[in-house]
Structure 1
């Protein structure tokens, strides 16, 4: 290299700031701010990693949403609460939050017998300023007494009024105690304690309820109920119910079993295929009544008025288990704060 070339190289080296040649970080100004050395390579890497991180986060969110939706579709099922509320089974029970009321009038026709009617009322009122721990209950007696006239079915109804105190309420346990009166002549005061346990066995959802009660006219008794729900798919639910009640003065058990397949046709209609049996252990454990039928229920006005038709066959011991057709029509309204 000539002397002119060497001179040009030295001029370039001298003119470049020393910080640009130093691989070490340096302090700038009076604030002594730490400034790392930057090169084109590090700037590119920083931008690349920033872009890569944002892409990965978005992809992760999409994957999470897809997986949640997939699992929901895979394991999603017709909600057991839909069955309870839509078919009005224990609609005002302690599984249901808030104040609710149910009024129903249905007619039932057994082949060879006159048409009969029955009126039903069930109210649960959550008392204010009690943190939902005190409820006022009013229920019509759920017996087999029916009237030949619809007006008499409303007038000749026995009612039960009670004050409920919720002892404990969690995802696994619900316990409460009721004190009230079954109205009649004479009145029949009572006290009732109930404990309910929720559990999950594989794909089965289990609800077990144990009730102890004392009526001044009837004495001590207890009732054990077990309900098991099995989701078939997003529209169908299979349910098994078993109930056994014991009255100390009677000294025998009253038994009841039933099973049902419930199909959610839409948000306004549902179909149920049900079958059951009733019996007791008074002389020997036996069943004396069987039934099998279909229940079709639909919203007919707004979201609180329902109509139901339920044809079925029954086989009773007092009729030598002859096949007897029965058809039932029900008009019902369910009133609640969240409806």
Structure 2
């Protein structure tokens, strides 16, 4: 496991290193931001238990579906043709809090990279926060109730340009029953090996909700090899609501080892220039502890948090999130 979710800044011109299985006490090189959820490790085991059997069946099922779909775009019907890259993530969670003990949080995300499009097209099936324009990158706790039960999204992602520091893509799909198209550009900059900046503007259009735009800014400061300070800023507007939605996130990330990490975070969200003028909807203070145990593809999280929501007159609302997350992958 090369990283849990904390990753020190790496100079923009530094080349990517191969995964390192050296024990934690001898690791000296930093973990890169893009290795945030990379899964590496030895495949050898004396026996395959029921969990490994389940992992293999899920991975094979997703892989066969991707391989079948990719066959529509090539004349080569051989089974030994180039294989698609398949990654799936399933998360089961429970987030009880004061006045609401039924906060179940079950998410999934499947990504298929088809080789016959030369890494220019992905298929994404998801109901995860990673695909939500209203969430910050490290934000997991659900601060708002789901308005709609159907949060499933399916999209085709076209990559127009991609290198180590820049990517431009377009996503066309359906989300919660609404057809959408979204264009995004993401750039990363780093200097002095301690500072990092991410700039990510996006323009989107939903058939039901109309035109909208979002700007995400992220600043990272590397305190040490294992400690990082991060500031996220998101601003979003849409024809579907009045005013501008904004969200700030302040984080301190600490990597205890290659398999354990923690993130202390404060998230403030609100609205300005709307019907109610400037308001703060919610404050959330949390500590997210994440660790890899038992299987190299299995992760656990414990996240106690405090909320101060505006609709509860900013009364302190304690809660805790308990999550189990599995990664399923195959590329052969």
Q: TM above 0.5, one fold?
A: yes
Structure 1: distance between partners of 2:309 and 2:202: 28
Q: CA deviation at 1:269?
A: 0.9
Whole-Å separation in 1 of the counterparts to 2:294 and 2:201: 37
Aligned residue in 1 for 2:247: 256
Q: Work out the CA distance in 2 between the residues paired with 1:267 and 1:277.
A: 30
In structure 2, the residue matched to 1:246 is 237
Give me the whole-angstrom Cα distance separating, in 2, the residues matched to 1:337 and 1:232: 36
Q: Which has the higher helix share?
A: 1
Where does residue 212 of structure 1 map in the other structure?
203
Aligned to 1:16: none
1:76–1:233 Cα contact (<8 Å) kept: no
Match of 1:334 in 2: 327
Normalised to the residue count of structure 1, the TM-score between the two structures is 0.66
C-alpha deviation, 1:319, in angstroms = 1.8
- Counterpart in the other structure of 2:169: 176
Report what 1:313 is aligned to.
Answer: 306
Aligned mates of 2:87, 2:211 — CA distance in 1: 29
The answer for the alignment partner of 1:9 in structure 2 is none
Q: Which residue pairs with 1:100 in the alignment?
A: 87
Q: What pairs with 1:14-25 in structure 2 (closer than 5 Å)?
A: none
**TM-fit CA distance, 1:200:** 2.0
Q: Is the 8 A contact 1:118 1:146 kept in 2?
A: no
Point out the more displaced range, 229-238 or 279-288: 279-288
Q: Which residue of 1 aligns with 2:100?
A: 113
Higher RCO (CA-CA < 8 Å; seq separation 6+): 2
Could you say which residue in structure 1 is the equivalent of 2:223?
Answer: 232
Q: What pairs up with 1:49-68 in 2 under 5 angstroms? A: none
Distance 1:315 1:145 in 2: 15
Q: In structure 1, what is the Cα distance between the partners aligned to 2:146 and 2:239?
A: 27
Q: 1:138 aligns with which of 125, 150, 156?
A: 125
| Deviation per residue, 1:139-184 (Å, 9 max, x gap) | 116474469xxxxx9xx54211111110000233200011112253
Q: Confirm or deny that 1:127 pairs with 2:114.
A: yes
Alpha-carbon distance, 1:111 to partner: 1.7
Q: Which residue of 1 aligns with 2:51?
A: none
Is the 2:123–2:156 contact (alpha carbons within 8 Å) kept by the matching residues of 1? yes
Instruction: Spell out, residue by residue over 1:269-303, the C-alpha distance to the aligned partner (whole angstroms, 9 max, x if none).
Output: 11111111010112323322101121111112322
What is the rounded CA distance, in whole Å, between the counterparts of 1:114 and 1:103 in structure 2? 22
Map of 1:189 onto structure 2: 179
How many residues align structurally? 245
Pair 1:85–1:274, CA change in 2 (3 A): farther
User: What is the SS of the residue equivalent to 1:318?
Assistant: helix
Partners of 2:113 and 2:284 lie apart in 1 by: 36
**SS across alignment from 1:285:** strand
CA distance in 1 between counterparts of 2:210 and 2:127 reads 20
The runs of 5 or more residues in structure 2 that have no matched partner are 1-25, 40-83, 130-141
Counterpart selection for 2:292 from 295, 299, 315: 299
Task: Name which of 310, 317, 321 aligns with 1:324.
Answer: 317
Alpha-carbon spacing, 1:157–1:269, altered in 2? closer, same or farther (3 Å): farther
Tell me if the contact between 1:117 and 1:146 (Cα under 8 Å) persists in the aligned partners. no
SS at match of 1:301: coil
Question: How far apart are 1:106 and its partner, in Å?
Answer: 0.8
Hey, what's the Cα distance between the residues in 1 that align with 2:38 and 2:213?
26
**Contact 2:168/2:186 (8 A) holds in 1:** yes
| CA deviation map 1:236-266 (0-9, x unaligned) | 1111111111002423111111111111111
Structure 1 stretches of 4+ with a deviation exceeding 3 A read 75-79, 81-86, 141-147
Residues 35-54 of structure 1, C-alpha deviation per residue, up to 9 Å, x if partnerless?
A: xxxxxxxxxxxxxxxxxxxx
* Larger Rg, first or second structure (1 or 2): 1
Name the residue aligned to 1:274. Answer: 265
CA RMSD of aligned residues (A): 2.6
